[in-house]
Amino acid sequence: MADKKARLTVDGIDEVFELPVYTGTMGPDVIDVRALTGKGLFTYDPGFVSTAACDSAITYIDGGKGVLLHGGYPIEQLAENSDYLEVCFLLLNGELPTPEQKQTFVDTVKNHTMVHEQMLHFFNGFRRDAHPMAIMVGVVGALSAFYHDSLDIDDAHHREVCAYRLIAKMPTIAAMCYKYSIGQPFQYPRNDLDYADNFLQMMFGNPCSDYVTNPTLAKAMDKIFLLHADHEQNASTSTVRLAGSSGANPFACISAGIAALWGPAHGGANEAVLTMLSEIGDESNIEEFIQRAKDPEDSFRLMGFGHRVYRNFDPRAKVMKQTCDEVLAELGIENDPLLRIAKRLEQIALEDPYFVERKLYPNVDFYSGIILKAVGIPTNMFTVIFALSRTIGWISHWSEFHSSPNKIGRPRQLYTGPVKRDYPKK
């Protein structure tokens, strides 16, 4: 039931529209405009930045206050006390697991880490220099050809099985994309390792010698996975929901999400940070680029500073900064030229009045880019790791969408083309 009513008058229409106003548990009220369609009216909202296209109980963001909650739990508390797979359980089920539920969940994920052996042949169809995201889009979409025993989207158990498979297999596929690009044999998953440890050994291990993961690096990877797990109705999540509204299978929907994430305005942000650091090139050039960033007439922008959603600060960045400092100290690579540029930029952004007044603080992409470089992951793999992390958010929203009555998505438009005209006579 609506808590309030909004009244709308439109010039030329002799009627006052009474529109229901709904109030969620948190956040702004929303006006139900569906009744306008029957009167030949649509609302106009390019980018859907002022439109609630769904109701959801998974994640809440208040960008003005720098708040990010999963199931009501602040991201800072989850990052301190939880791990990625526990957050996966929370996003899927709405509650944190008991110790017994957590163990069962982890064991089930570990039992699904391998991919069908025939899928290895898919990689041979790609050029060795193909972007890893191009490979991932194709391979994840093809999962439906191998796991078609659980594609009934109206069956809750099938949806659960698909979620487990995707959470478990994405690290394996991501590592395979990397191994293929450098010409090394694929490294099989090991079920005796934790989620992040397993990913690192698949990335950097080889059949010739045992790979022993560094606990600090494994912890950092788990933090990156956790902090990128979900971010409400962003472009890729909305893409997954829209694709899912057609009844498409979950693997195809996640592939669509990966494609949307690939864009530099979305998932490519941390890759753009490293590109920017390379462009600056040397600490001696920092002042020049800072002045360019302040010049409204200059097209140069500092990547990894500020955030479209967070108008105050990115709550994930504080956690990522601490993790970044721990990784750099552990590896002893503070003198790496690009990392020295990054640390100097961080200092300037936190002290310079220009950046402080505009709240252009370093965001999660800035710190995660530095960590991934320090770990030894190439920049073209950054977005792949983002996709790996975000898969749980995508499949949770997809499952939530199909857990209740739904409609196929059908946005409207403001038509600005020619009016009806006759085909010219010959």
- Given the residues 70, 112, 231, 307, select the one marked as catalytic: 307
Question: CA–CA distance from 10 to each of 40, 46, 412, 416 (Å)?
Answer: 12, 20, 19, 21
How far is Cα 360 from Cα 305, in angstroms, rounded to an integer?
5
Using DSSP, state whether 121 is helix, strand or coil. helix
Please tell me what DSSP assigns to residue 209. Answer: B
| Dihedral sign (CA 105, 108, 113, 119) | negative
CA 314 – CA 307 distance, rounded (Å): 7
Cβ–Cβ under 8 Å, residues 320 and 381 = no
SS3 (DSSP) at 185 = coil
Is 155 marked active-site?
no
Let me know how long the chain is: 426
Q: Which residues of 312-336 are buried (b: 16+ CB within 10 A; e: fewer)?
A: ebbbbbbbbbebbebbbeebeeeeb
Q: Are 314 and 211 in contact (CB under 8 A)?
A: no
Q: Which amino acid is at 24?
A: G
Q: Report d(CA 340, CA 282) in Å as an integer.
A: 9
With contact defined as beta carbons under 8 Å apart, do 354 and 291 qualify?
A: no
**Annotated catalytic residue within 194, 222, 314, 365:** 365
307 is catalytic: yes
Angle, to 10 degrees, between the axis of helix 364-375 and the axis of helix 382-402?
Answer: 130
Contacts of 303 (CB under 8 A, 6+ apart): 269, 272, 273, 275, 276, 365, 366
Question: Helix, strand or coil for residue 74?
Answer: strand
| Kind and range of the H or E run holding 289 | helix 286-294
Catalytic annotation, residues: 307, 365
